[in-house]
Chain A
């Protein structure tokens, strides 16, 4: 059973860069035709897809966030990471990492989520 776990600071100052890591266990991040994705959810609101990475390093980003987002992968550590620059209070949300099917783009496995608050 694949498991994902987010980690990173829970508090980030405005204008700084939010950095999160997702550790994958129960399987190799390099095996199978899967994408590794980040999704966020502000309190009381819906889900917003941030972007994905394939283990080859190819990425796709949500156009609304593309100028501020970088997703990277470290296959040796079975991890992938998110960096979101120039954050504001609007970036306060629960951030989830997920495994996305390379066939149907469905998110089969999710991390438990981590709350990131942007505040001075």
Chain B
């Protein structure tokens, strides 16, 4: 079964840059689109990156996505961290079924 693995948690200071990784278990992560969702406590997820590196309107350009085929991973980078960025972040892709697959989520602490 295809799986996506994320670090359980990351932390960084306001104003700094943080990168959250999402590693595919098999195949090529570059073959299927990756999305990233932000979820604040008590709220539904919202999209911050779609189709690997596209930002929905309203998402600041401090958020960026990339794919690294050599490590079979996707990354979400948030620059100029703000306290409001503190949330859980989930990567998402799909397998050949096509079944949607979510990463386990990463808790971002901005301290």
Q: A-side interface residues toward B, CB under 8 Å?
A: 37, 39, 46-49, 52, 60, 62-63, 96, 100-101, 103-108, 110-113
- Residues of A close to B9: CB separation below 8 A: none
**Contact between A112 and B101, CB atoms less than 8 A apart:** no
**Contact between A104 and B100, CB atoms less than 8 A apart:** no
Expressed in whole angstroms, the Cα–Cα distance for A94 and B50 within the complex equals 23
- Residues of A close to B97: CB separation below 8 A: 60
Considering only CB atoms and an 8 Å cut-off, how many residues of chain B contact the other chain?
25
**Contact between B44 and A105, CB atoms less than 8 A apart:** no
**Contact between B100 and A110, CB atoms less than 8 A apart:** no
With A46-B104, A47-B105, A112-B44 as known contacts, state yes or no: A107 contacts B98, CB within 8 Å. Answer: no
CB-nearest residue of chain B relative to A6? Answer: B44
- Residues of B close to A113: CB separation below 8 A: 44
Q: Which residue in B35, B43, B45, B101 is a CB contact (below 8 Å) of A104?
A: B35
Please encode chain B, from 44 to 67, with 1 for each CB lying within 8 Å of some chain A CB and 0 for all others. Answer: 111100110000100000000000
Expressed in whole angstroms, the Cα–Cα distance for A107 and B50 within the complex equals 9
Does B23 sit within 8 A of A, measured CB to CB?
Answer: no
Please encode chain B, from 14 to 49, with 1 for each CB lying within 8 Å of some chain A CB and 0 for all others. Answer: 000000000000000000110101000001111100
- Residues of A close to B37: CB separation below 8 A: 47, 107
Chain B CB count within 10 A is highest, among A37, A105, A111, for A105
